[in-house]
Structures are given as structure tokens and as C-alpha cells.
Amino acid sequence: MENQKKRLIIIGAGFAGINLAKNLHHEDLEIVLVDRHNYHLFQPLLYQVATAALSPADIAHPVRRIFRKQKNVNVALGRIERVDLEQKKIYGGDTSVDYDYLALCVGATHSYFGKEEKWAPVAPGLKTLDDATLIRRKVLLAFEEAELELDEQSRRAKLTFVVVGGGPTGVELAGALREIAAKYIQEDFRNIDTSTSRVILLEGGDRLLQGFSEKSSQRAKQDLEKMGVEVRLNSLVTDMDEHGVWIAEERLLAQNVLWAAGVAAPPILSTLGVETDKCGRIKVEPDLSVPGHPEVFVLGDAAHIVDPKTHELVPGLAPAAIQMGKYGAKVLRAELSGDKDARAKVKPFVYTDKGIMATIGVNRAVAETGPFKFSGTLAWLAWSLIHIFFLIGFRNRVFVMAGWIYDYIARTREARLITGQFSLKVRKFRKAPKQA
């Protein structure tokens, strides 16, 4: 009977892929879950790895561990490069695999608005654990170099951090950078006062956190400014190099530029040859399948779907990806039920919006759910608890919670490790420690 089994290939073990597989225990379905990493990543806490509050293992969980007990799931490590919809095959490296059903749950990537080649090496974005450890290295090295630097202009540039993009990630990064510089590492350096570091948040639009209400945007701006972040609205970056950024004619000298602005769909989606939106997301049917290919689903950030109730685009958020994963499983269960009318009876996907939140710093956050908007300590506590709750893995929950409590009490950042290859860039070296 083995050969009667249908094969579902899921590409991507993010929120959508994991929730799709977890909700399909169907015995006649062989699931192959492929990801280019061997872990599921909790992206909402990536900025905490980038700013040395958490370690990489705290926010990642091995995919094999998640499916240890679900015997119809085979986990595979691999990067899939291409999909052939007609042949029903996926391709990665020298390998191709056939599928009966396919779910593309590949998330999103950065967009530098066509300037990838020049801007990406200067201003790393934050989507993967590698990005987070790269940013952590860049930030921590900046303080180390400033400690050794005698040239005043160069030292100032090293202590200037520019975050491009005033969405949740930009707000979180800017707030966390300011907290590190002003609160957590000040006493650890001898020659520099890290609290004099400039953190500048650049937003092209007229307010931060565009997806939030005007009130929350205002509150986020006020909180950031109280913390010492320079918030600049209507400030579009027009160019950048290793010495800083341009905002039209204005030059801003900064050695550290971080990118939190544009989102694009991963390149694999373009190999399908079907209609996409301008970000490259696939325009899916109301049941999240690809037009003309009911056996192929696109779930999570990679899908472009307008909610039938609100008539708005379903946002690229973890709860939306989780709901799409569960919905995809429902459609497939109907398909595999043996009742040929069952699938048609499944209602179109509707996004249940439970609210949005963004953290700004310790005891500072904004949260909105339905008509309720709150901020400050209450929002920050809600943000912390919800993030702990959604983390996958008991160890991760315990470690993250313990790490936060420790940092809160001890006012420190313990994950301050500079890893990987680097060379110090100092114009004029300080020879001996400054005398008191």
C-alpha cells in the first residue's frame, strides 16, 4: 500500500510550514519538510540577538526535534531553487523530487529597492540568524574600535548608528541600540563614553509604525526621543557607502548603517511563472492555492491575499502565517478525505487579526487589539509574555525568560560575543590607556 501514499513537499519550516505539517497527521500522506536551515527561527526576537540580549540558540529550535514524534513527516535540509509546476517537481542543486502536493512557505527577504549590490554590503538587514550575528559583530566592533580610536571624526562616525526604516524592526533596533549604549555597557569602557553614541532612525514616511494608529506612532516617537534616539521622519535615504548615508543633499557620517526598510519575496517564487505583486509575492486563490494549480499552495509572507472581510492585504506577520498554515492543512485534509466535494466546501481563508505590538525598550511598547490601544509597562509586559508563549521549545522559553529577568535586574547584555572573521578599522591608534 506504500505506493498509494501521496507526497506533500513543504518548502520552508517557518511559522506557516511548521503549522501546516503539524496539522496533517493523515496516514496516507507522506510529508517532506525541506528548509535551508536545520532550525525553525523565531524572527520576532531576531533584533535581540542582533543587539546582544539573547543568543542564537535561544530563538531557534531544531526542526527534527519538533517532528520527532510525527512519523509521517520527513525533515530534509536543502535549499530549493526552482519549481516546475507542469512536471510537478522541485529542484535544488543536482537533485529533483516529485510531488503530488506542494506548499511554498518560504517567507520574505530584504529589498534594497534595486540597489542591492551597493547597499546590502553597507547596511545589513535582519531576516536570518546570520544577519543577526553579523549585525551584533558590527555593533560591538564599533564600540571596540571607538575605544582605540584617537581621530575624533572617525571616533564619532564609529559611535553613530543609523537605522533605515521606521517599522517595528527599525523601532526595536533603534531602541535596543540606544539602551546598550546608554545603559548597559557604559561602565565597561575606559576611553569612551558610550552614552554619547548617536542612534538615528530614518523613516521615509511622515510617521513611524505605519501599520499602527496615529496615537501609537506618536507614542513610539516620543518614547524613542526620551531614550535619546534621533527620529527623522520624511527622510528618504538616497545613497550610502561605508562612511555613511545621503538623504538627498545631506551627508550623515556613520560607520554603522542597519537596514530595516524594504521587503521582497524570495527568488524561488519567480520560478513558478505565475502572477505576483510588485514585491514578488504570489497572488493566490481564496483557498491559498496557486491559480490553475490547486495542488500547490503558497502560505505565509510569500502569499499575496486580500482578506474577504476587511478587503485589506493580509499582513506579513507571524499570526497570519500560523493561520495560513493551519488553513492549508484544513484544505488538504478535505482533499484527502475521500469525499470529492469536501474541498469545495471549505470556506475561503479569513485572517483573524488579534492585534499588533512593537517594543521600544525596557518598559516601553505599544500594543493595539481591536479598539484598545495601550502603551508603556503594560504593553511591554504583554509583548514579553506573548513572545515567550509563541516561542517553540520549552528550553527556549525558559532561557529567554531567565535571560530577560537577569538583564533587567543586572542592567547588562550578556550575549556580547564578537564572532566570525573581522579586522579592526582604526585610523589613529590609542597607544596607552588614558590616565585619570
Ligand X SMILES: Cc1cc2nc3c(=O)[nH]c(=O)nc-3n(C[C@H](O)[C@H](O)[C@H](O)COP(=O)(O)OP(=O)(O)OC[C@H]3O[C@@H](n4cnc5c(N)ncnc54)[C@H](O)[C@@H]3O)c2cc1C
Residue 127 or 158: which CB sits closer to ligand X? 127
Interior/surface letters 161-185, b for 16+ CB within 10 angstroms, e for the rest: bbbbbbbbbbbbbbbbbbbbbbbbb
Smallest distance, ligand X to C-beta of residue 3, A: 27
Return the active site residues. 172
Smallest distance, ligand X to C-beta of residue 46, A: 4
Task: Please tell me the distance from the alpha carbon of residue 147 to that of residue 175, in angstroms, as a whole number.
Answer: 22
Please, are residues 291 and 303 in contact by the beta-carbon 8 Å criterion?
no
Smallest distance, ligand X to C-beta of residue 196, A: 27
C-alpha cell recorded at residue 251: 551627508
Residue type at position 17: G
DSSP structure string for 249-316? TEEEE-SEEEE--EEE--GGGGGG-S-B-TTS-EE--TTSEETTEEEEEE-GGGEE-B-TTT-SBPPS
- Within 10 A of 286 (CB to CB), how many other CB atoms are there? 14
Q: Cα 424 to the chain's mean position, in Å?
A: 29
Please, are residues 174 and 201 in contact by the beta-carbon 8 Å criterion?
yes
Contacts of residue 103, Cβ cutoff 8 Å, sequence gap at least 6: 8, 9, 10, 11, 16, 17, 20, 296, 297, 298, 299, 328
Residue 14 or 244: which CB sits closer to ligand X? 14
Smallest distance, ligand X to C-beta of residue 90, A: 9
Residue 239 or 285: which CB sits closer to ligand X? 285
Residue 244 or 325: which CB sits closer to ligand X? 325
Smallest distance, ligand X to C-beta of residue 316, A: 5
Three-state DSSP class for residue 224: helix
C-alpha cell recorded at residue 29: 500522506
Q: Which residue is nearest to ligand X (CB)?
A: 14
Smallest distance, ligand X to C-beta of residue 351, A: 12
Smallest distance, ligand X to C-beta of residue 80, A: 4
Please, are residues 89 and 99 in contact by the beta-carbon 8 Å criterion?
yes
Enumerate binding residues for ligand X (CB under 6 A). Answer: 11-17, 34-37, 41, 43-44, 46-47, 79-80, 105-107, 126-127, 168-169, 266, 268, 300-302, 316-319, 321
DSSP structure string for 28-53? TEEEEEEESSSEEE-GGGHHHHHTTS
Smallest distance, ligand X to C-beta of residue 55, A: 16
Nearest Cα neighbor of 25 from 329, 296, 295 is 329
Task: Please tell me the distance from the alpha carbon of residue 124 to that of residue 134, in angstroms, as a whole number.
Answer: 8
Interior/surface letters 34-66, b for 16+ CB within 10 angstroms, e for the rest: bbebebbbbbbbbbbbbbbbbbbebbbbbbbeb
